[in-house]
Amino acid sequence: MSSTLENIQQQIGENPILIYMKGTPQLPQCGFSAQTVQALMNCGERFAFVNVLDNPDIRTELPKFANWPTFPQLWVEGELVGGCDIVIEMHESGELEKLVKAAAERANSAESSDNA
């Protein structure tokens, strides 16, 4: 297994809410990433991000690993949620906020039990 794949698996495993995007949440570099990160920010929970423009190895390998060809990609608790269209649809239906808040709550309770 390549170190890039190990890196991707580690990122997905360590971050309950993770978006692979072009740019950063503060400075998205494509419209799809901008829309997706805005929907995610509206949920009000912390999330991690990886700028695939700064990580060409991840940009090349992740679509093969995920079997999803485009960016952004939203991952929640190790599962690929989808890209821009799916995330926007989920945000509009209220489903995204429920999913993100539940993941954040589980992560926070796991974190607090680790620190106990």
Residue 84 annotated as part of some ligand binding site:
yes
pLDDT, block means (10 residues), the chain with 116 residues: 88 97 97 98 97 97 96 98 98 98 92 72
Residue 46 annotated as part of some ligand binding site:
no
pLDDT at 2: 63
Residue 43 annotated as part of some ligand binding site:
no
Residue 106 annotated as part of some ligand binding site:
no
pLDDT at 1: 47
**Residue ranges per structural domain of the chain:** 3-111
Residue 22 annotated as part of some ligand binding site:
yes
pLDDT at 113: 77
Long-range CB contacts for residues 24-33, cutoff 8 Å, separation at least 24: 24/49, 24/51, 25/49, 29/53, 30/71, 32/70, 32/71, 32/72, 32/83, 32/84, 33/71, 33/72, 33/84
Q: How far is CA 24 from CA 28, 63, 110, in A?
A: 5, 19, 27
> What whole-number distance in Å separates Cα of residue 33 and Cα of residue 13?
22
Residue 30 annotated as part of some ligand binding site:
yes
Name the fold adopted by 3-111.
Glutaredoxin (3.40.30)
